[in-house]
Structure 1
Amino acid sequence: MTKMLKLIAFISPLLFIHLGQARDKSSGCGLGWKVSKRMSITSSSVRLSTNSFTTPLGITSGTSGCKRHSIVQNKFKQIHFVEENMDQLEVEMSIGQGQTVEQLAALVGCENKVNVFTKTMQKNYNDLFQGPKTIPLNLLNMVKDKIVKSSELSAGCHLI
């Protein structure tokens, strides 16, 4: 019995540690808050067990009263931009200049290093565009990888 009380005393604080972690309004949402809105130990326990499975999905998708993390929102903007401008990006990256590739630079956090960004993408064109198998998400990931691997871009960009 004593061991059980010690175990409960040890685990109880861990159950509520998540409550103060999210300052971006992604806390206070999820299916658990739909089930029980009261501020009590029982309600908190119900929310904890329910939200531990559903809140990450709600935050990512923006459902269950959760706001999407800004990281997720930015990634969607970037992917959408690359999807809509894939052909133009291919042309502009091949020549190392153009409005669309400059807009991509700003979207990924390199607005202060646009010239370096465009020249780096031109230099890595053959790695970035590998024929018809190049898909927008892969291109975006490879662009970000090139930013990280470039000492000048990684120092001058705030990768989003």
Structure 2
Amino acid sequence: MKKIMSLLVSTALASSLYAINNENTGCGLGSIVIKDQSTVFLQVIAATTNGTSGSQTLGITSGTSNCDKPTNFVSNDKLNQFVGENMDELAMDISSGKGETLNTVAKLMNVENTQEFSAKLQANFSEIYTSENVTSAQVIDSIAKYM
């Protein structure tokens, strides 16, 4: 077993000398260490490294480890707290296209045209509140798409 693991690690490290990136494996430590991802085997190692190291999640949120920070990423503690505490009220406001909770979210997100913003959210309510188990982070990410 040690010989197999040693062979896998040696192959992965040797492959990092080449610079063929593959979008299948995503970003993270695996994409940095294993630059040659020309075979399925190397792609599996890169993806596994990304997943097991936890670097992909950090890379996505911070824009590091060959990851691009999402353009609609909203990082606002007040917004996160507010939406988390007001999920039901926000859902009702979005469904009606108006309300104090929706206005507060618009203000926290620095939205200039609140009427247009509210109308977009109302028209896309089912894309924002996708199920009764949707999280506040998912709601915020969905709302950010319509800014």
TM-score, with structure 2 as normaliser: 0.48
Q: Which has the higher helix share?
A: 1
- Please say which structure displays the higher CA radius of gyration: 1
**TM-score, normalised relative to structure 1:** 0.44
